[in-house]
Structures are given as structure tokens and as C-alpha cells.
Amino acid sequence: MAIRLVVMGAPGAGKGTQCERLCRRFGVPQISTGDILREAKRNKTTLGVKAEEFMSKGLLVPDDVVIGIVEERLLSRDCANGFLLDGFPRTLDQAEALDRMLKQHSTRLDLVVSLDVAEDEVVKRISGRRTCSGCGEIHHVSFGPAVGTGRCDKCGGALVLRDDDREATVRERLRVYRDKTAPLLAFYEAKGQLVRVDGVGPVDEVSTRVLAAVERAARS
């Protein structure tokens, strides 16, 4: 099914977790600007070195850089039948640039899903997150047996705390979310494209809610 989605939410709201499931369900690629930037950092590319400056402080990477990445990625063949944007847009300029890109291809977003989770809960989630240094698979200390062994259950890579998951950086990321990204909720609401989903509860329950919202949008 061709579907074009954005998933928004505070840091740690569960975007990556839910996006992986949605992409499997709809057979569309997941475009996570955070993952793209982390890979560039790992490979020490020019982009990665520049991004590191901002990411390590919990700040947003400049709009022109991120918009360029998404613009190029959306031209790939695998996006012809839809895509899921995870963590983009994060500013009004990024949202307007996305609208322009889609207009050029005579298309538009089907839905913007906001995962709503209170700040106390996201801080708890992030402090328990462990990410695979090999494949990027997301784990959590409180569930998933692989965390106990310190190794990824998919590829066996070491599970590590993300560089920007230390408490002071998390607080800064939350401040940036409130300041720069939360205003996009009103932007998409005014366009009739936003659905807010309660992101609290077991992962499967949240997935059921998200899927129901997306399927409703896909049918309309």
C-alpha cells in the first residue's frame, strides 16, 4: 500500500520502536534522520563530523543539512511507493521544505502521527535504552532478554548507551523538542493531517493504536 507518513514525538517517545513495526506492516522504507546522522558520525564523513558538533550537545543539526539529506533520500527508487519519516521534520522550516518537496512530486503526506508521552516517562525510557553498536537495534534494560547478556539479539553486537543519552544531554534534547518541534503539532493540525496517539503502555498496545490510526487514514 502506498503510504506517506511522518512519526513525531519527544526524544524517547518510541518513534524508532513503532516506525520499525509500521515499515514492516506497510512495506515502506524507514527514513530516520537520527540514524542517517549517527551512521555518518560512525563513518567519520564530513557530514558526520559536522553533525557530531550539534548532536553531542543535544542540539538540532542545521536545517539546510538535514533538508538536503531528506531531499536526496526521497528521490531513491524505494520511496516511490511511500515512506515513513522518523524524526523529520523537527522545525517549521523543515516542515515547509518537506511540503515543497512533495508538491514537486504532486503528492502529499497521508498522516502525521504524534506519539504522546510525558517527559518523566521518556527520561525513564531513554536512561534504560541500550542500542546495538552493530546494527542499531533498540533494546531496553527492563525488557528483552538480550540486554542481560550485553549483546544484540539480532546480530550479537555490543549493546551501548547512545552518546546523547546522558542525562544532561537528554534534558537539552527535551528543551529543544518543546521549543522547536512541538509547534509543528499546530502546523499539521491546521492542515488536518495530525493524529495524536497515546504512546504510554506496552509496546504492542501502542502499536495497535498507531496501526488503527494509520489504517483509518489510508482508507479515507
Q: What Å distances lie between residue 81 and 3, 76, 176, 216, CA to CA?
A: 7, 11, 32, 18
What is the strand order of the sheet 82-86 is part of?
Answer: 30-32, 82-86, 3-9, 111-116, 194-198
Q: Which is nearer to ligand AP5, 16 or 82 (CB)?
A: 16
Residue among 3, 5, 6, 14 that touches ligand AP5 (CB under 6 A): 14
Sole window of 15-23, 96-104, 105-113, 211-219 interacting with ligand AP5 (rule: CB under 6 A): 15-23
The catalytic site residues sit at: 15, 90, 129, 162, 173
Whether the Cβ atoms of residue 151 and residue 158 lie closer than 8 Å to each other? yes
62-91 footprint of ligand AP5 as x/- string (CB under 6 A): ----x--------------------xx-x-
87-126 footprint of ligand AP5 as x/- string (CB under 6 A): xx-x---x------------------------------xx
Whether the Cβ atoms of residue 38 and residue 44 lie closer than 8 Å to each other? no
Sole window of 22-30, 58-66, 145-153, 187-195 interacting with ligand AP5 (rule: CB under 6 A): 58-66
Residue 1 gets which letter from DSSP?
-
Burial 193-212 (b: 16+ CB within 10 A, else e): bbbebebeeeeeebbebbbe
Q: At closest approach, how far in Å is the CB of 27 from ligand AP5?
A: 20
Q: Which is nearer to ligand AP5, 138 or 218 (CB)?
A: 138
Q: What Å distances lie between residue 141 and 10, 161, 217, CA to CA?
A: 20, 11, 34
DSSP reduced 3-state for 82 = strand
Q: At closest approach, how far in Å is the CB of 102 from ligand AP5?
A: 16
Q: At closest approach, how far in Å is the CB of 54 from ligand AP5?
A: 5
Compute the half-sphere exposure of residue 56: CA atoms within 13 Å on the CB side of its CA.
Answer: 7
- List residues binding ligand AP5 (CB under 6 A): 9, 11-17, 33-34, 37, 54-55, 58-61, 66, 87-88, 90, 94, 125-126, 128-129, 138, 140, 164, 173, 201, 203, 206
